[in-house]
Amino acid sequence: MAEKTAVGEFSITCPIPIDEYPAVTLAHGGGGRLMNQLIEKMFLSVFGSPSAPHDSVVLKWPHENLVFTTDSFVVRPLFFPGGDIGELAVYGTVNDLAMSGARPLYLSAGFILEEGLCMEILWKVVQSMKRAADRVGIEIVTGDTKVVDRGKGDGIYINTSGVGVREHNLNIHPSSLQGGDAVILSGDLGRHGMAIMAVREGLEFESEIKSDAAPLAGIVLEMIEKGIEIHCLRDLTRGGLVSALNEIASAADKSITITEEKISVREDVQAACEILGLDPLHVANEGRFVAFVAQKDAGRAQKIIASFPDGAGAAVIGEVTAPVSAPVTMKSRIGSVRVLDMLSGEQLPRIC
């Protein structure tokens, strides 16, 4: 489009190929290649970014380093084994702050409610958010509420913004990655995505699959307090482990090699993935993260993470190398090497 302005000719050309994607697809929110294209070409090309993309941004303040992040939650169903949309909204925002090494302080909450929503359901969500906030020591200090027409909102959507403070001088960011860094995974994979899908698809197993939704700030702050040289952190939400590793490798201009036998996936989660034709390495989590630490600190970092109930399965799964032909590769159990690339499509819509 083009229009005359007081200062001359002004034109805007949409950077997303309209002939390929004339409308937003579910895959644009799935954590894979299309979502990254949307963020980079649509949003960052216009709004810009103070640094390479990360879960949150450190803001220079007169006396402190403030960390700020924002997120939205549209999970379906609203209540699922192991959690609900309210708890998820708090933990998801706190975890984004934690990935910059920040102590969470304040949270805003914006509610988009659908006409006809049962007040008892809303009350349960609000109470869940309060319990989650109390657990992690963050205050919900401001918010907003809007109501949309019946049939236009799917019950509840929640938008949050979080503010934290960075009390150290570490630059926890993909740009800090170094060759030889150890890659530590904080626990088993795929439980959140499979908990959601098991409910949606009516899958029943001997034991119920519960979401791994949990706050991660306590683990990260303990690592920092104990002097672990942390170079980068990333929580494994949409797109799972594979998307997180690819995003970091690309931003750091490094390659990452992991070992399959070091990665833990529960039998019931693996079975659910096989039934649905999914790869647990791409499935979303809400209480798992990867830590990139100096090789000298790998053992201590793994023990610190494993000392927390939500990090009990922590393991060193790989290392950072100089750039090679593929950003992320995995050594399989039979000794072959597999390239791990981002998905182009969407596996699990509406899981957070």
Q: Output the DSSP codes for 83-135.
A: EEHHHHHHHHHHHHHHTTTPEEEEEEEEEEEETT--HHHHHHHHHHHHHHHHH
332 and 221 both lie in a single domain: yes
Please report, for the chain, how many H helices and E strands are present, in that order: 9, 16
Q: Is residue 308 part of a domain?
A: yes
Kindly state whether residues 126 and 239 are assigned to the same domain: no
What pLDDT is attached to residue 79? 96
Query: What is the maximum span of the chain, computed from C-alpha positions, in angstroms?
Result: 69
Same domain, 23 and 58: no
Distances from the Cα of 344 to the Cα of 34, 76, 248, angstroms? 6, 22, 17
Domain count, the chain: 3
Domain end call among 116, 140, 166 = 166
Decide if 1 is inside a domain: yes
* 250 and 136 belong to one structural domain: no
Considering the domain architecture, whether residues 84 and 124 belong to the same structural domain is answered as yes
**Are both 204 and 264 inside the same structural domain?**
yes
Supply the pLDDT for residue 2: 39
Q: Could you tell me the mean pLDDT of each successive run of 10 residues in the chain, 352 residues long?
A: 42 57 70 78 66 68 84 95 96 97 94 90 92 94 88 92 95 96 98 93 84 98 98 95 96 97 96 92 97 98 98 97 93 94 80 88
CATH number at residue 188: 3.90.650.10
Output the pLDDT for position 243. Answer: 95
- For residues 28 and 35, is the Cβ–Cβ distance under 8 A? yes
For residues 178 and 284, membership in a common domain is answered with yes
Query: Same domain for 199 and 323?
Result: yes
Q: Say if residues 244 and 286 touch (Cβ distance below 8 Å).
A: no
So what's the pLDDT on residue 16?
A: 57
**Res 206: pLDDT:** 75
29 touches 284 (CB < 8 A): no
- Find residue 107's DSSP bridge partners: 140, 162
The answer to whether position 348 is within a domain reads: no
pLDDT above 90 coverage of the chain, percent: 67
CB neighbours of residue 326 within 10 Å: 16
> Is residue 17 situated within a structural domain?
yes
What pLDDT is recorded for position 349? 81
Q: What is the pLDDT of residue 1?
A: 40
Flag whether 345 is in a domain. no
pTM for this entry: 0.85
Kindly state whether residue 115 falls inside one of the protein's structural domains: yes
The whole domain housing 12 covers 1-48
DSSP per residue, 67-80: EEEEEEE--SSSEE
> What does the pLDDT look like over 103-150, one tens digit per residue?
999 999 999 999 988 988 999 999 999 999 999 999 998 888 898 988
- 168-192 pLDDT, tens digit per residue, is 999 999 999 999 999 999 999 999 9
Quick one: 258 and 289 in the same domain?
yes
Q: Identify the domain boundary among 119, 149, 166.
A: 166
